[in-house]
Every structure is written in structure tokens, then in C-alpha cells.
Amino acid sequence: PRQVVQAEGWTGVADFSAAVRACWAKEGLFFRIDITDNDNQFRDTAGDRILLKFHHSSCGPDKTVRSWDLALYPEAAEQFTETEVIGERALKRKVGDPVTQFLTTVDGYSILLFLETTGWDAAPQRSGSMLLQAHFRDVDAEDKKPHEFALFAAGKQGRVEDGRISFTGGRWSSVHTSAIVTGEHSALLLLDAGNLTDSPAKVVITVAGKPGAEALKRLEQEIALPAGKYFQAHPITVDFKGLPAGAYTLSSKISYAPGSDSAKLTYSAGSGIVYAPTLLTRREKRPVRDLQVFKHQMSSRRAFSYMAGAGKVLWSAGTYNASSSDLREKLRLPGERIVQVPGGKSGDVPWALFGGGDTLDGVAEPLVLKFDPNMGSLEKKLQPLPKIVEKNEVPKAREGQLFRRLLLLGVVVTNDGGEPPVLRVSNAQTELLPDTPIQPPQDGKAHSYVFRIWLTDRLDREVRIENSSRRGGLLEIDFLAVVGGDTATGYGLGQPEMKFSGPDEAEHFTRQLYTSLYFMRNYMIDAKGNAFRSLPGGVSEKASPTDYALLLNELASWGSLPEAKKMVGNVPPLMGRRISHQNLELTAAQPLLVLGVYNAWRKNGRPKEMLSRLWSPCVSSPINQIIKVAEAHPVGLVNARGEFGAENPELEGYTRPVASAVSAAINAAIEMAYDSDRGIQATTWRRSLDTFDKNIRRNFAAQDGGTDINSTTIYPAAYGLPSIATITTEIPQDVWLYGWYEDGSPVCYSGDVRVFDTPYLFSGEAFRTYRTGFTINDKRKLQAMQKTFDHMLANSLVFSNASWHHSTVMTYKSTDLHLWTTLAALMLDNREWAKKALHGFIRYTYDEGIIPRVSGERVAECEISPFTFEERLNVSSVGVNLGPSGDDLNIPTAVGAMQVARAMAGIDDHNVRLLRLEPRLPIDNSKDDNDWTKVEVSDWMISHDFEDAKALPINFYSFEKLKDSSYNLVLDCDQRLRQVEVRIGPFSTRIRKVQLASGGEMREVSTVRTADAAWAVTTYDKVKNLDIIARAIRN
């Protein structure tokens, strides 16, 4: 057999080699496998192995099974062969019990194998040949790598389709190709032929194609074959020069009997290339999202700057779209593929690096980028790592070097269950990226990964990119881009609406925020307003209705009006079928979609025509149906299927997160009803809402004396937490409960998520405080939330995990939990805790230099930029970043981070007559000097009753902590605001009064106290500009 994997230590045919013979008789299929082996190792399934692969089309026991395997495990010492039929149980019954006999030879052993085939669906007697592949694994000693071989090595993984054996009597012939592609107008073919009769024979090679018989006659070849002679892989050269381009078929005959196989070739007269189309790996056509960013080249190139963190795109080929569709599927001769940079075009870059170690893979070329030494010479040096990352993440061999350029390499990989492709990037002296297996989930989907290779002027003028896998799958190229410039400038690229200052984490959060916003706006919403949960090449395509609603709400809240307008048009069909108490079709999506319509409507200036068009399908009908469900419910709540975090269709009960969304949606509908002169409807809904809110308070808090939680069901634990067979605990009085099942028992788990004492309790709180942004004015609600927060921190498994203690990050499920809890801490003014949690999230979201590969149980499903928010954090128990896992960015994670950013900025425009400014920066006035000191917001759309408009953008707003523990709040708007309420702080609880100076006006304000801080709260009437300096008045 041909060696497929060149492992170290294989010394030649005496070490290991094999020969396979086959015979088909009436009663079945016979094999003789002769093995030369100097060291047989039997270790059950881990030792020496012979794997025969069959295909049902020519020799299958079951037409529904594409292929099946028979494994042989030889044990030379006991002269025994263990067999295993690999496939489904029904298939194994049809195959029957293989019969083997073990024979010892001088230099190894032979295995005789018989398979009864009387009941098979197909038999080679009909065609004279069959598809077959044989893999061999030779394990010599414990400390050596196995050698791996395949009988037919035409494919990169030795597939069953790559091999065929023919059954014949006394004469046979077969012609096949020797390489995928050859040049100089000729092709090399290999001829197998034999003549075991008593008379001589003649083998004739004929060519069929477009030209007439005379033109093709000259290509005919004859080979004499005496009696008793045979040969294999006899070389034959066919010269196509002078013939027209097109498809040709080469066949063999022996004494007028047609051969068992023919070779199909395609000739390109212009280039002189001849290739075998049946051996080529063709590009799989994948749907590409209809995104506006693809309409203009400059817009799509800008994505590379965001991937880099900032900077100028010096050269690029291809577009980030999770496919190689922008690169040409062009054949060329084997050898290096050289692309000049910056002169090379997209057409110069191959669409894939194929890998493979066999001779037929003639297009397994290395890609070589040759850089112009003057390219980017005027650009600033690049800062390779942000300040939040430890220095030891820079490869040791490259420490201290100044990087002029960053090479971005986008690849697309599909895991079909075989060996993964292996990416290698090197310069003339060293590996820039060592051999990196890329192993996405085994889901059959195309997954995108972007590798970042830092380049210097002196060493990296020639960079080689190759797929070094000896038998792995192909590595599809999405794009190549070279970025130069100064990545230290963390702001100004794409004009984000919000910027934070202070410690390194604040600066980095700004970059993460605008990077994630860019990709979300441009790659997760298409031209028709359809939304995608993941980035291109991520784990998910179409967003669920709940995710769609979350995204619509947040984009509208941020004033992304073009995207929100497009999305609103898709809301009616997403509402689903009629909601009823019996069929439990209500989910979190319906109330959240009502809220999304409301937010888009008010940010657009509350236009009556927009509300008139959406009123029935998006407001009145779903609200009336939700209320009908609540009125029919025994305790006046709504049953729901699934919720924000644990999308579990099996959960039939009522949960706090869905109830929070329902309450907010009814509130929003009431406001829209009043604004559209539907006062009677609003009054009716108000009565229903008051009853519903009372039921929420009654049912979603532990009763007097506490509520028992008991569960004996064993659930698989989430990542990083132990499995627990029995739950017995008590939820203290007034602490929130997550939900109730229909039978009246508390919800302990949703799927594999423990929910009664985890941050899932807070998943709906971003929508609960409907009229006050993120401020809780009701003291009873505030106390209950604080008590719930304290109970969870003290008792939840999430906060007993090692990764929380070492790194202040939650590795329980997704980062959504981390963000929900951080938002809850900000709403509770627990700034110290919020700062720790936020800093851990920001540090471990960044994964520069971490290779996207399998890490334990966690797999990277998509990795585009270290500057986006991660779906999951992958951190060891001692605080080591284990690299990407899950999606690089998805809707729930992006929305959660955007909500945290809005809460810290503190702009609340829900009351159209009163703009509230309540910044919640993580400021605890501690001595460690890591307080967040400033937030700046520009072009922020607010809903407000201006004199001649109902929505206008704020030009500029900022809040800053000054060095002397005073504060500065600045507001600039083109029109007067009716009222502006500001809350400034935090001050020490010892401070009773604060002096506010603005525009020559001085006022003293008595402070309002919370648990550990004091705040100055005051109102300004009819202003469009404020510049307030707030200083404590000390006693």
C-alpha cells in the first residue's frame, strides 16, 4: 500500500508493508492480506489494525448505507484476528459473522478472510469490479507514533471511493490517471494489464472526444502482452498538443475486450494544463447573506480594520463572507503559488489549500506572499497586544520586535468527521504560526476563523502559508488582508456613539463595543431586515424570534434607526400563530417583539402612520391574547415555552423573565394606545396590568418562612460545575423565585441549566423597569432585588466555581449570565462588584494568539476578532485563558454588553417630558486607582417632546470623575428639553450636601443616600446645554 502518513520511525518495507488479494466466488468474497511487520502490537482497538471500507453501490448489504467498514485486529502471538463490523445494528446482521484464519509467515503473517454475500443487495459479478479501500495502521512500540497506510491513496483521506478492484478471468486491463493536474499539453496515465492465458494479447489505448476519428487516431497506442505476463502502473504519456480544448475519455481494450476502468481528462489548450475532473475537489456552493456591506468594496474592506482593532488596510484579497466565493477556482501546475503584495489581485489567490501527502494531490501548493519592502513604510508601528493582556502572550521568539504590519488570514473549515486541516505559516527563518489543527464542531456547517500573524519589516518579506495536514481536509480561504497603522488609537474608527475612559479595561471595552456594534449592524442584519444569531461562519444562521426581538429592542434603543426600521417590517410574521392557554404557544418573543415595535416607534418620533400600520398585528392582537392567557390561568400568570437564556421547549410553566417581558410589553402598549387616541383600550389594559403585576409579586418571591426547593432528578452539569443528583435547599422569604411548573412545583432546572439560584433570575430585569430605564424607584422592589442578589452570591454554584475565585469570570454556560449579573449590580449601585465582574469579562474576552481548536469539551465555532464580545469564556481554574469557544459574537451576548454600556451611560428618555441622566460608572472611590472616570456619548437619539419634534439626537453628553473627587456633567442639544433630571455621584455617605455650578448658576442640593453612597439629584427646566461641576460641601 501507499503510505499516507509519513510518521517518524518507519524504516521501509521490512518495517511494515502489505499486499491484498481478492476473489469473488458464488458463495462469497475471499481476501488474502499478506503483512510484513517486524513488531506486531495487539492493544485491542489501539494497536495494529486493518480497516476494509466497502461501498454499497458495488458490494453492499444495504442500499441505504453509503459505506461501511470492517476492522481486523491481528494478534500474532495468539495467531488470532479480532473482527468488528462498524455500522448500525441492522447492517451488522446483514454482513453476518466474518470468518478469518491467521497464518504465520517468515517476515510477518497473512489473514484469510471470508464474507458470505448471498444476501447482499449488490454483487461485483454484475460489473466485474467493486469499490474498495484498505487502511493499515502499524504500531511498533509504546513510545513511537503509528505508521498509517492506504491501499489506494488517490484521496487525501483514503476514501472508499478512491479505490476499485476488478475481478477477471485470464485477461484484464485498466487505465487511470496519475495526477490531478499536469502541464505542457500532455498527461501521464497508468495502465494495469494482465494476460494469464496461453496465447499472446494486445492492449490498445483509445481516446474519445470532440475531434473526429482521424484526429484522435494518432493518440491511439498499442502494447503487446505475451502469454503469462502482467504489469501494474505502467506509464503512458498522451500528447494533446494541437487538439482543441475540451473533455476526453481514455479507455483500454485487451484483445477486443473492454477494460474495467477509463480515465476522464479535460484539456486547456491555452495554458497547456490537463486535469482529471473526477479527482478534483470542487468548491461547495454556499449561500452568502444579502448584506449591504457587500455592495461596496470600501465598506467590506473596512471590516479588516475592525478585525485588527484599528489601522489602515494596505492590501486585501477576498471578502469576509464565510466562503471563498470571491477567489477564483483556477487550476495551475503543482508548486509554489506566489502572490505579490500589494500588487496581487483576488484572482491570484487560490480558493483553498488542500493538504494531503499523496502524489495525486497536484494542487496541494504552498501559498507564498512576497511583500514589497517599502509597503507601509510610512505607517506607524503596530502595538501587537492591548495593555490588558500579559506580556507572556507574545511568542517568545518574537518578543521585543516592532511590528509594521498585521496579516489577517480568514479561513473556512467544515468538520466532516475526518482529520482536520493543519495551518502552518512561516518566514524564511521561523514559524510564525506553528502547525495548528483547526477543528470546528462536527455539525457539517462551514465555520469561519481569522488568524492574526504579526509581521516585521526585516524578517517577514516572504511568508509561506500551507495546509500541512498529510491526510486532512481542505482549508478554504475566505480572505487575506494586510493592515498597518496605529492600533493604539482605540476610538474614532466608525464613530461609535459611546466611549469610556479610565483604566485599561475601560479603554478596551470601548474598542470591544464599537467592534461588536460594527459587525452586528453590518453582518447580522441583511438588506431585508432578516437577522442572524451568529456572524457568517458561526454556529447559527437565522435568528429565533426571541433573539430577533432582543436585537430589535437594543438597536432601537441605541438609535440605529435604519436597521430598526427594516426589522420592524418583519415583526408581524414572527408573532406566530394564535396564542392560547391550551397549546402553550406563548414565548418570550411575543412580548419582546411588542417592546421592539414600541422602542422603534418612539425613537422615530412616534409617527402615527407607523403605529397605525403596526397596531393590529404587532400591538393590540398579541397584547389581548397575552392578557386572555393570564386571565385563564389559575394564578393569573402566563404559561410560556422557553425563555431568554435557556431556550427549552420542554419547559411548560411560568417564569419570572417572561413575566417581566409581559409586564413591560403591556406598559408599552398602554402608552401607544394613549398616544393614538385609544384611551378606552389603554384603561382596560391598565386594569389587567395592575392585576398581573400583583400576581408577579405574589408568585415570584418566596413566601413567609421561605420556599423549599427539592429535586431528585440528575441533570448533566454545565461547564465547570459538578453534576448534582439531589437538590434540597430553602429560598429565604422575599427572595425571587425563577418559575413554577403547571403542577405547582418550583422550576429547579431548565434543560441542563440550574435556574433557581443563578443569574437567570436577572435575565428579564433589563425590561422590568419599563418607565425608568435601569432605575428602580420602588423601595420594596429594590430591597427584594438586593436580597436576591446577596443570596445568589452566597449560595450559587456559579460563584463557588474556581474560575470565579481566580479570575472573576463565570464559565457557567454563556457570557450572558455574566452580563445579566453585572447589569443587576449596576442597577443596585453595587459598583465595586460590578467593576470586578466587568474587568474579568473584558480581560478574558480578549484571546489574541490563542489558537481556535478543541480545548477540552469546548470548541470554537467562530473566531473573527479578539475585539468582539465572546459568547462563552474559556478559562482554567487557575485563570489561564484557554482560548475561543462557542461563537465569537452572537445576538444575546452583544445585546447584554450593549445594555451594560447603556446602564453605565445612564441616559433615560422613557418619559417624553423628562430626560433623566443617571450615570452608573464603576466608581467606588477606592485607593486602587482603577475607577472608570468618564463616559462620552455623541449623536444619541432621544424620544422627547421638543417644541417642534418628538425625537432628536443629543449632540454630546459626558460624565467625568475629576481628580478632586468632584464631577463634571456636560449636555449639548440643539433644542430645549422640557426638563432634565441629573443624578451625580457617588459621594461618601458622610456628605449631606453638594454644590452644583452650571453656567453661572450655583445651587446646593441635599444628597440622597443608597446603601454605601450619597448622590446629588436635581432638575433643570427648559435647557439645551448643561455644564455642571458638582463638589461635596464638607461639614
Residues 484 and 353 in one domain: yes
For 373-417, the pLDDT digits (tens) are 777 665 666 666 677 765 434 444 444 456 778 899 999 998 876
pLDDT in tens, 431-486: 888 888 888 887 878 999 999 888 877 778 899 998 887 666 788 999 999 988 75
Domain-embedded: residue 361: yes
CATH number, domain containing residue 472: 2.60.120
Q: Are 40 and 50 in contact (CB under 8 A)?
A: no
Cell readout for 61 is 448489504
Phi, psi of 485 (to 5 degrees): 115, -165
Residue 881 lies in a domain: no
Q: Model confidence at 59, in pLDDT bands (50, 70, 90)?
A: low
| pTM for this prediction | 0.84
d(CA 337, CA 341) in angstroms, rounded, equals 13
Q: Are residues 243 and 316 in the same domain?
A: no
Which range marks the domain in which residue 359 is found?
292-489
Report the alpha-carbon distance of residue 614 to residue 598 in Å, rounded: 10
Report yes or no: 186 and 238 within 8 Å, Cβ to Cβ.
yes
Whether pLDDT at 755 is above 60: yes
Tell me the three-class secondary structure of 410-464, residue by residue. Answer: EEEEECCCCCCCEEEEECCCCEEEEEEECCCCCCCCEEEEEEEEEECCCCCCEEE
Domain final residue, candidates 247, 275, 303: 275
The answer to whether position 58 is within a domain reads: yes
Pair (179, 158) in one structural domain: no
C-alpha cell at 901: 454600556
What's the DSSP call for residue 816?
H
The average pLDDT across 211-234 equals 81
307 with 439, same domain: the answer is yes
309 and 267 in one domain? no
Looking at the structure, tell me whether residues 106 and 139 fall in a common domain.
Answer: yes
Asked if residue 251 lies in contact with residue 259, where contact means CB atoms within 8 angstroms, the answer is yes
CB 427, CB 462: distance < 8 Å = yes
Report which DSSP code applies to 724.
B
> What is the rounded (10 degree) CA torsion for 603, 608, 613, 619?
70
CA dihedral 853→858→861→864, nearest 10 degrees, is -60
Phi then psi dihedrals of residue 501, to 5 deg: -130, 160
On whether both 85 and 140 belong to a single domain, the answer is yes
Question: Which CATH number covers residue 257?
Answer: 2.60.40
Domain end residue (candidates: 445, 467, 489):
489
pLDDT at 490: 41
Least confident of 54-68, 750-764, 989-1003: 54-68
Is residue 884 in a domain? no
Q: 368 pairs with which residues across the strands?
A: 338, 464
The C-alpha cell 481478492 sits at 22
Q: What's the count of helices (H) and strands (E) in the chain, helices before strands? A: 19, 46
- 704 belongs to a structural domain: no
- Reported confidence tier of residue 581, pLDDT bands at 50, 70, 90: very low
Is residue 821 assigned to a domain? no
120 with 181, same domain: the answer is no
Residue whose C-alpha is closest to residue 872's, from 709, 777, 855: 855
34 and 183: one domain?
no
Q: What amino acid occupies position 299? A: S
CA distance 521 to 531: 10
Q: Domain for residue 426, yes or no?
A: yes
State the number of CA atoms in the 13 A half-sphere of 893 facing the CB.
26
Measured in degrees and rounded to the nearest 5, phi and psi for residue 58 equal -120, -20
Cβ-based neighbours of 743, under 8 Å, separated by 6 or more? none
CA contacts within 13 A on the Cβ side of 655: 30
| pLDDT band, residue 142 (cuts 50/70/90) | low
Give the end of a domain, one of 112, 133, 166: 166
In the chain, the percentage of residues whose pLDDT exceeds 90 is 36
Closest to 764 measured CA to CA, from 579, 588, 593: 588
- Of 558, 422, 408, 517, the C-alpha closest to 903 is 558
CA distance 809 to 875: 8
Q: What is the mean pLDDT of the chain?
A: 83
Instruction: Give 743 or 1005, the one with higher predicted confidence.
Output: 1005
Dihedral class, residue 21 (left if φ above 0, else alpha if ψ from -120 to 50, else beta): beta
The domain tally of the chain equals 4
The answer to the question of residue 619 being in a domain is no
Which of 450, 452, 451, 460 lies closest to 404, judged by CA? 460
Looking at the structure, tell me whether residues 212 and 269 fall in a common domain: yes
pLDDT, tens digit, 9 for 90 and up, residues 903-957: 999 999 999 999 999 999 999 876 667 899 999 999 999 999 999 999 999 999 9
pLDDT for res 492: 45
Cα 404 from Cα 397, distance rounded (Å):
17
> Are 161 and 175 within one domain?
no
| Separation CA 795–CA 959 (nearest Å) | 36
**Mean per-residue pLDDT for 816-820?**
93
Residue 175 and residue 160 share a domain: no
> Any residues with CB less than 8 A from the CB of 831 and at least 6 apart, and which?
825, 920, 921, 922, 923, 924, 986, 1013
Mean pLDDT to the nearest integer, 808-836: 92
Residue 872 has pLDDT above 50, yes or no: yes
